[in-house]
Amino acid sequence: MDFNDSPEDAEYRRNVRAWLDQNVPKKIGSTEHEKLAAAKDWQAKKAAVGYGCITWPKEWGGPGGTAIQNVIFTEEESNYQVPPNPFRIGLGMCLPTVMAVGDEDTKKRFVGPAMRGEEIWCQLFSEPSAGSDLGASRTRAVRADGKSDWIINGQKVWTTLAQYSDYGIVICRTDPNVPKHKGLTMFWVDMKDPGVKVTPIRQMSGGAEFNEVFLADVRVKDSQRLGAVGGGWKVSLITLMTERLAVGKLSGANWAQFLDAARRTPGIGGTPALKDQSLREKLADWYVQDEAIKHTRNRAMTAISKGQIPGPENSISKIIAATKLQELSHAAVEMLDQYGIVSGPYLSESAGQFHATLLTAPGLRIAGGTDEILRNILAERVLGLPGEIRVDKDVAFRDVPTGR
Ligand SMILES: Cc1cc2nc3c(=O)[nH]c(=O)nc-3n(C[C@H](O)[C@H](O)[C@H](O)COP(=O)(O)OP(=O)(O)OC[C@H]3O[C@@H](n4cnc5c(N)ncnc54)[C@H](O)[C@@H]3O)c2cc1C
């Protein structure tokens, strides 16, 4: 395992830091509109100097950098207050898929504008009955009468950033007469098509980052197909695989803030909560978990630096990190008493911050693979335990009771 940057990577890191020092925007704005505009400007600025999509090939306007340079930039950028990133799904998952399977015209049309932050993309995969089991997708795409066009009808759900998106990649069932994974096809759709309706889902945190998306008679050209007819499952694996490469710096902010709050908050008998024995036991557990995540991450980065793809063992990090975040914010809310749940302009900066994290942390245990699914992956692919029984694997989708 390599713990330190190579001399070239260390120089790259120095250059990144110097550039960020000079270029991070001074003002992000407070309204949704201002933040979106700041995000677009920031992405354009990064793209202009080769920090927009570091690993993208020169052929498509990227700098052709290494995956490790990408990790370095992400790490360094996370030390600054930068605009929110509405491009993460498009640039992280959708466009890599387009580059892998799209035809030349499609790549020419979409890669550049996405890289420069001019267009936003979303991922239309999950459905009310197809999340963990994406192969059970029921959104239908059928050939328009006598034409090569397709008509899409169905519903997607939990679509992050659909409300800002210009385009989306959508997995559809094109053949219900073959087993579920074989009858799927991927397309790109225009999110501004009159047949696409985006409805926000209000979260318990108060935000509405994701949406239900209804597709009613959305007509797409055959040239909007990504990959072969019936090859959608394979294409979706390309999309999901890119998620595993997103090995950014794990946020340490909440950990530092927790320690700070525990030092300042009186516990039993008026001594700082940090002196409390039961809290110290929790801190020790979280510390050990943090160290394990750090080393797992180092292992993944070593694989990336050698041009390999991190293996399924990388799933450990999300299970542990998301659970820890939830436990830590819960402990903080209890420790801070009323300051744990209220926030406002007259209170200290830390008031309410853990409450917000407590309400968003459960989503992290679901997004990108639930805890249970990741544990299944670890059991089957890392530990070599017997696979789950998959009774519908060889059955035509229309004959699966939930497939009708
Ligand atoms: C913050 C967030 C952002 C998201 N963004 C997007 C997005 O942009 N685009 C998109 O398409 N989707 C998105 N999703 C959806 C996400 O991919 C799904 O929520 C996830 O795959 C789980 O699917 P589900 O919600 O249908 O739950 P289900 O799959 O119905 O699971 C319900 C429960 O059953 C368990 N379970 C299911 N199958 C098994 C099994 N085989 N073994 C053991 N336990 C099992 C699960 O672990 C879970 O506890 C997002 C979700 C979140 C929380």
Q: Comparing 162-176, 178-192, 309-323, 362-376, which segment has the lowest mean pLDDT?
A: 309-323
Quick one: pLDDT at residue 145?
81
195 plus 275 within the same structural domain: no
Quick one: pLDDT at residue 351?
65
262 plus 360 within the same structural domain: yes
Q: Determine how many CB atoms are found less than 10 A away from the CB of residue 134.
A: 19
Quick one: pLDDT at residue 247?
44
pLDDT in tens, 186-231: 999 999 999 999 999 999 888 888 999 999 999 999 999 999 999 9
Please classify residue 287 by burial: count the beta carbons closer than 10 Å to its beta carbon, then call 0-12 exposed, 13-18 middle and 19+ buried.
exposed
HSE-CB for 396 with a 13 A CA cutoff? 8
At which of 37, 65, 85 does a domain end?
85
At which of 209, 235, 261 does a domain end?
235
298 plus 225 within the same structural domain: no
Amino acid at 39: A
Asked if the model's pLDDT at residue 242 lies above 80, the reply is: no
Task: Yes or no: say if 389 and 380 are a contact pair by the CB < 8 Å rule.
Answer: no
pTM: 0.92
C-alpha 273 – ligand 1 centre gap (Å): 37
Chain center to CA of 147: 36
Is 95 within a domain?
no
229 plus 313 within the same structural domain: no
Asked if the model's pLDDT at residue 344 lies above 80, the reply is: no
11 plus 71 within the same structural domain: yes
Q: Is 159 in the pocket of ligand 1 (CB under 6 A)?
A: yes
Amino acid at 260: D
287 plus 347 within the same structural domain: yes
C-alpha 158 – ligand 1 centre gap (Å): 9
d(CA 187, CA 169): 6
Q: Is 239 in the pocket of ligand 1 (CB under 6 A)?
A: no
CATH number at residue 293: 1.20.140.10
297 plus 197 within the same structural domain: no
Quick one: pLDDT at residue 252?
45
Q: Is 165 in the pocket of ligand 1 (CB under 6 A)?
A: no
Task: Yes or no: say if 329 and 259 are a contact pair by the CB < 8 Å rule.
Answer: no
pLDDT in tens, 113-124: 999 999 999 999
Quick one: pLDDT at residue 248?
43
79 plus 31 within the same structural domain: yes
- Write out the residue range of the structural domain in which residue 211 sits: 121-235
Mutate to test the pocket of ligand 1, among 89, 121, 132 (most ligand atoms within 8 A of CB): 132
73 plus 192 within the same structural domain: no
Angle at 365 between CA 291 and CA 171, to 5 degrees: 125
The answer for residues whose C-beta is within 8 angstroms of residue 398's C-beta and 6 or more apart is: 176, 177, 404
DSSP string of 54-105, one letter each residue: TTS-GGGTS----HHHHHHHHHHHTTS-----TTHHIIIIIHHHHHHH--HH
Chain center to CA of 392: 29
Asked if the model's pLDDT at residue 250 lies above 50, the reply is: no
**Which pLDDT band, with edges at 50, 70 and 90, does 346 fall under?**
low
Asked if the model's pLDDT at residue 8 lies above 50, the reply is: yes
Is 135 within a domain?
yes
Is 114 within a domain?
no
At which of 30, 64, 85 does a domain end?
85
253 plus 360 within the same structural domain: yes
Quick one: pLDDT at residue 95?
96
Q: Is 121 in the pocket of ligand 1 (CB under 6 A)?
A: no
Is 167 within a domain?
yes
**Which pLDDT band, with edges at 50, 70 and 90, does 1 fall under?**
low
Quick one: pLDDT at residue 404?
60
**Which pLDDT band, with edges at 50, 70 and 90, does 45 fall under?**
very high
Q: Which residue's CA is the nearest one to ligand 1's atom 12?
A: 126
Mean pLDDT calculated for residue range 135-158: 94
C-alpha 365 – ligand 1 centre gap (Å): 9
Provide the domain count of the chain.
Answer: 3
Is 306 within a domain?
yes
Q: What percent of the chain has pLDDT over 70?
A: 94
Q: Which residue's CA is the nearest one to ligand 1's atom 38?
A: 132
Quick one: pLDDT at residue 2?
64
Q: Is 131 in the pocket of ligand 1 (CB under 6 A)?
A: yes
Which two tokens mark 119? 């267009």
Q: Write down the residue that tokens 């020419």 correspond to.
A: 108
Mean pLDDT calculated for residue range 293-306: 81
C-alpha 166 – ligand 1 centre gap (Å): 24
Amino acid at 68: I
Task: Yes or no: say if 242 and 96 are a contact pair by the CB < 8 Å rule.
Answer: yes
Is 243 within a domain?
no
Please classify residue 263 by burial: count the beta carbons closer than 10 Å to its beta carbon, then call 0-12 exposed, 13-18 middle and 19+ buried.
exposed
CATH number at residue 207: 2.40.110.10
Mean pLDDT calculated for residue range 281-308: 85
d(CA 98, CA 148): 20
How many Å from the N-terminal Cα to the C-terminal Cα in the chain?
Answer: 50
C-alpha 36 – ligand 1 centre gap (Å): 27
C-alpha 375 – ligand 1 centre gap (Å): 14
Q: Is 2 in the pocket of ligand 1 (CB under 6 A)?
A: no
In this structure, is the dihedral angle defined by the CA atoms of residues 44, 46, 50 and 54, taken in order, positive or negative? negative
Q: What percent of the chain has pLDDT over 90?
A: 64
Higher pLDDT pick, 178 / 256: 178
Mean pLDDT calculated for residue range 265-292: 91
197 plus 266 within the same structural domain: no
Q: Comparing 47-51, 67-71, 157-161, 305-309, which segment has the lowest mean pLDDT?
A: 305-309
Supply the Cα-derived Rg of the chain in whole angstroms.
23
Task: Yes or no: say if 195 and 121 are a contact pair by the CB < 8 Å rule.
Answer: no
229 plus 343 within the same structural domain: no
Q: Is 370 in the pocket of ligand 1 (CB under 6 A)?
A: yes
pLDDT in tens, 90-132: 999 999 999 999 999 999 999 999 999 999 999 999 999 999 9
Is 107 within a domain?
no
Q: Ligand 1 atom closest to Cα of 388?
A: 41
Q: Comparing 46-60, 112-126, 155-169, 260-274, which segment has the lowest mean pLDDT?
A: 260-274
Amino acid at 76: E
Is 110 within a domain?
no
